[in-house]
A = this chain, B = another copy of it.
Amino acid sequence: MNVFSNCVQDDYFYLMSEAREKRILEVQSNRQRDLTVVLENVWDPHNISAVLRSCDAVGIQEVFILSTHSQKVSKLGKKSSAGAAKWLTIHHYFDLHECFEVLRNKYSRIYSTRLAEKVYSVYDIDLTQSVALVFGNEKDGVSPEAANLSDGNFSIPQIGMISSLNISVACAVTLYECYRQRSAKGLYAKNVESNL
């Protein structure tokens, strides 16, 4: 047995552990407790996974997965969610009203992505307030019932020939607008070590 190499190994693990603990504390200190994402009947595991990665990336801790058409818990993509999902708090709901009651108690505003007559641009909403953002599924978008229970609808401007951004792309663009607004307002701790 090589005692020296064991010592080095132990030190190495100790240092790793300390760095990891620091990293976890930093990430936790930047979690935005008053910001959440609700996925209504989103089925594609790859899309759910991509959304979870975006949530983790901008500091969202709690995610609501609402499945009103099935009593089965939505599957998460194995590959990409494995990392993100284990760091998030994921709530599964099967009843719309039950889910929205919880949202109402925890967040000041609920906004849905929906192409309705009265719809705001995502850039015109104050995303620094306490808010839950509802995204619908790939085919039908947010249901009329969920939209009716919300405080307003918003959309991402599209000025091209095609008007259909993927749900994971739409969600990421929205969440990074949250990040930009919140960052500008100093809502993230200054000691954060981002990957920049």
In the complex, the answer to whether B159 meets A59 with C-beta atoms within 8 Å is yes
Residue A104 is within 8 A (CB to CB) of chain B in the complex: no
Give the number of residues in A that approach B within 8 Å (Cβ atoms).
Answer: 47
Q: Which residues of B contact A73 (CB under 8 A)?
A: none
Residue among B56, B119, B173, B183 making CB contact with A160, cutoff 8 Å: B56
Residue A192 is within 8 A (CB to CB) of chain B in the complex: yes
A109 CA to B115 CA, complexed, in Å: 36
Which A167-186 residues have C-beta < 8 A from chain B?
168-169, 172-173, 176-177, 179-180, 183
Sample (26) of A-B pairs whose CB atoms are under 8 Å apart: A24-B161, A27-B159, A50-B169, A57-B156, A57-B158, A57-B159, A57-B165, A58-B158, A58-B160, A59-B159, A80-B166, A83-B161, A83-B162, A83-B164, A87-B161, A115-B195, A119-B196, A121-B194, A157-B194, A159-B192, A163-B195, A165-B172, A166-B168, A168-B168, A173-B173, A176-B176
The chain A residues found within 8 Å of chain B, CB to CB, are: 23-24, 27, 30, 50, 53-59, 80, 83-84, 87, 115, 119-121, 123, 155-166, 168-169, 172-173, 176-177, 179-180, 183, 188, 192, 194-196
